[in-house]
């Protein structure tokens, strides 16, 4: 089964600084998708950024960017110019289109991000 | 409201009781997913519906758990003979189509506490 590992239970960053959250995954598939979700205390999971494995270019969404290393099966999230509103639990997730598991997301255990003013 | 909604927001029950958790997906979304998030963990897949049928229920932990989606929109997750280990946040998500590219939109979850 696919596994997603987030080795940093907690991270903290000063407002306006940059922070990187780590994620590794295990799969035998060549085509798949990787996601970073944000979960604030309201519990609502919000998609932050998405990466298609077949694309070599790293995805970017405003202050959020990823470093996707397919051979190393690594998918880190960089948050630039951190804001107080970025404080939340961040989950890395994996998904593929194999018929037997079509639809399901595999999540890591999350990284709790604290932003200091 | 255009998002996924879940009711109730919180549910407290006693061990052995039966509970139903409801999910209203985004209108027109054919794919619907249930996940369970235990304390300190990431969400874990339970079941996936495509239309009215359960396309993948391999994540349901045992036969006390059951889910339906009779008209292809609202879904209900049913838990019989609840146990303390069932305490968790139950998340529902919907997607326009089931393909891996498509974003899953999550509801705010139902926090279930079994005393």
CATH of the domain at B90: 2.60.40.10
Burial-class residue B105 by CB neighbours within 10 Å (0-12, 13-18, 19+): buried
- Of the listed ranges A100-104, A111-115, B32-36, the one predicted with least confidence: A100-104
Range of the domain at A91: 3-98+105-116
Total domains present in chain B: 1
Helix, strand or coil for residue B38? coil
- Per-residue pLDDT tens for B55-106? 889 999 999 999 999 999 999 999 999 999 999 999 999 998 777 677 899 9
CB contact under 8 A, A105 and B35: yes
Domain limits for position B68 = 5-114
Q: What is the per-residue pLDDT for B31?
A: 92
Confidence band for B2, pLDDT divided at 50, 70 and 90 = confident
**Which of B41, B59, B98 has the CB atom closest to A102's CB atom?**
B98
First to last CA, chain A: 41
Separation CA A2–CA A17 (nearest Å): 33
| Two tokens, residue B54 | 């359960």
CB B23, CB B4: distance < 8 Å: yes
| H helix count then E strand count, chain A | 0, 12
Q: What is the mean pLDDT of residues B32-52?
A: 94
Q: In chain B, what residues touch A105 (CB-CB under 8 Å)?
A: 33, 35, 43, 45, 104
What single-letter DSSP state applies at residue A17?
A: S
CA dist B31 and B42 (Å) reads: 21
Closest CB to A103: pick one of B56, B91, B103. Answer: B56
Rounded to a whole number of angstroms, the CA Rg of chain A reads 14
Task: Identify whether the C-beta of residue B73 lies closer than 8 Å to the C-beta of residue B81.
Answer: no
pLDDT band for position A98 (50/70/90)? confident
CATH of the domain at A74: 2.60.40.10
% of chain A surpassing 90 pLDDT: 82
Give how many domains chain A has, as a whole number.
1
Cβ of B41 within 8 Å of Cβ of A109? The answer is yes
pLDDT at B1 over 60: no
B98, A96: Cβ pair inside 8 Å?
no
């Amino acid at each position: 089964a696919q596994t997603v590992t987030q080795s940093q239970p907690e991270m903290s960053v000063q407002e306006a600084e940059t922070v990187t959250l780590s994620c590794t995954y295990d799969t035998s598939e060549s085509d798949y998708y990787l996601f970073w979700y944000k979960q604030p205390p309201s519990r609502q999971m919000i998609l932050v950024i998405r990466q298609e494995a077949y694309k070599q270019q790293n995805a970017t969404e405003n202050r959020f960017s990823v470093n996707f290393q397919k051979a190393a099966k690594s998918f880190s999230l960089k948050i630039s110019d951190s804001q107080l509103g970025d404080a939340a639990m961040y989950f890395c997730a994996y998904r593929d289109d194999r018929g037997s598991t079509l639809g399901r997301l595999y999540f890591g255990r999350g990284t709790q991000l604290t932003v200091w003013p | 409201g255009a998002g996924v909604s879940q009711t109730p927001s919180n549910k407290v029950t006693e061990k052995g009781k039966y509970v139903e958790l409801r999910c209203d997906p985004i209108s027109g979304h054919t794919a619907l997913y249930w996940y369970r998030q235990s304390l300190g963990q990431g969400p874990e897949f339970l079941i996936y519906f495509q239309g009215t049928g359960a396309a993948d229920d391999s994540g349901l932990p045992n036969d006390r758990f059951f889910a339906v989606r009779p008209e292809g929109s609202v879904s209900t997750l049913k838990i019989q003979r609840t146990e303390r280990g069932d305490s968790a946040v139950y998340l529902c998500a919907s997607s326009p189509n089931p393909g891996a590219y498509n974003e899953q939109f999550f509801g705010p979850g139902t926090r279930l506490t079994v005393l």
